[in-house]
Amino acid sequence: MRNQVQLIAYADRFGGTIERLHRLLNEKFPGAFGGVHVLPFYSPYDGADAGFDPIDHTSVDPRLGSWADIERLAASYDVMADLIVNHVSSSSPQFQDVVAKGRGSAYAPMFLTMSSVFPGGATEADLTAIYRPRPGLPFTALRLGGELRYVWTTFTPEQIDIDVASDLGQDYLHQILDAVAAAGVRFVRLDAVGYAVKTPGTSCFMTPETFDFIAAFTERARERGVEVLVEVHSYYRDQVAIAEKVDYVYDFALPPLLLYAFSTGDGQPLAQWLRDRPTNAITVLDTHDGIGIIDAGPRRGEQPGDPIRPGLLTEEQVDTLVAGIHQRTGGSSQTASGATASNLDLYQVNSTYYDAMGRDDAAYLAARAIQFFAPGIPQVYYVGALAGGNDTELLERTNVGRDINRHYYSGTEIDADLQRPVVQALLQLCRLRNTIGAFDADDLEVELARSVLTLRRGDPGGPRARLTVDLADGAASMDWTDTDGVSGRLDDLRQLLD
């Protein structure tokens, strides 16, 4: 993966098709992005969960384009694609065959039911131990061949969990891997992989068996020339452990820590994480999901009386963080988060990152600069690339909380936003991040003096870069010396807004 900023985008919401997204990158964002994570483009891209519930995971939805369009995009940019390992659509032909034939279906072993995981029955302790991203148990009562069964559905009744240990489940996943690799996709994101392995008597989330599955799948992917990004929202120590076993992990702790630092002026938790975090990370401030809170907070024990494991933020600091986001968004994030608005992920706050920072241009640029200085590959979500605000109209139409951060951009809107100083400044920062040689090394020196954070990358005898940010007011400066000895300086990142 080239060490340049990547874009995260839905093709239908940012361009309209894969070919138009490609054209946007070339014509409207030259030099800003070296890669693009195209969010699910499989058939259908507009199902119950915005493409994360594919009926046919090996075909491109013809309304968006074809594998040839993906191949052309991959010839110019590093392309990342989602591989949804945990589940498939309830409308898929495989599951529909099970609905019709029940236990007699050739595809029956591909899907999980309560009895296939707990053949001897489950106790109350077994069921309450299961880690859930939403209230209730992970089962849906469905008739399979006329027989009422409890089918395992981690997320929604439209998303049926796969038995990834079965021959059919493995064949299914390898077919998808073959399809994306043949189109030139060299990076896959394992969506919801933390839930993929169900082991009786455990939380069924990020267990040792899950790590074994990730390691085995990563080996299969590498055989095809494909690198693997693991997507898990969890306790920060889990991310550190996962990073030792895979190509890349998300740094999901960074977004809440930055928000806390800029809203309070307290940079201690952020500075400590920047010193300790894994370097084989994909850094993000925003994605198609909400802003993770669990990633920075403490972990409660699974059983009553178990000790609470400290997080990067205390429970009180997490409360301050969440309250601040809701206040800065005028309450729109609160309307879109928690148990309201059909949310699946109760541990996330739904808001654009720009709104979560109170639409403060200087602080927003400084936060992006810190993201770009953190070792790893930075990704910028398409709404964040245009410093977009919360789409409350879309939220009202769909009552889906995450839609507040999933705006459908017209060409006219994109052109207008590209003229805004904050957007032009962000794209200039992207181009600097892509060209300064100091970012090719994984080192990071971190200093914190009261509210002033200083980050240094590179070798004093070679390419180097320094960023200084006052977290109390968002004022930031940056200077660098590149491989050829050419130096540059921005005494104040707000100069980019002029």
**Residue in this structure with the two tokens 């399809």, named with its chain if needed:** 179
Structure tokens belonging to residue 360: 């403060």
C-beta separation of 144 from 99 below 8 A: yes
- Give, to the nearest 10 degrees, the angle between helix 254-264 and helix 268-276: 150
C-beta separation of 394 from 364 below 8 A: no
Q: What DSSP letter does each residue of 197-260 carry, written as one string?
A: ---TTS-SSS-HHHHHHHHHHHHHHHHTT-EEEE-----HHHHHHHHTTSSEEEETTHHHHHHH
Structure tokens belonging to residue 162: 């796969």
- Name the H helices within 291-420: 315-328, 332-336, 353-356, 361-373, 382-385, 392-398, 411-417
How do strand 476-481 and strand 452-458 relate by DSSP bridges? unpaired
Q: Is 231 a catalytic residue?
A: yes
Question: Three-class SS of residue 75?
Answer: helix
Burial label for 464, CB within 10 Å (0-12, 13-18, 19+), is buried
- Any bridge partners for residue 487, and if so which? 481
d(Cα 320, Cα 311) in Å, to the nearest integer? 15
Catalytic residue among 49, 161, 231, 361: 231
Question: Three-class SS of residue 100?
Answer: helix
* Eight-class DSSP state of 442: -
Catalytic residue among 53, 69, 191, 355: 191
Q: Is 69 a catalytic residue?
A: no
d(Cα 490, Cα 280) in Å, to the nearest integer? 28
Structure tokens belonging to residue 197: 């392995």
C-beta separation of 432 from 368 below 8 A: no
Catalytic residue annotation: 191, 231
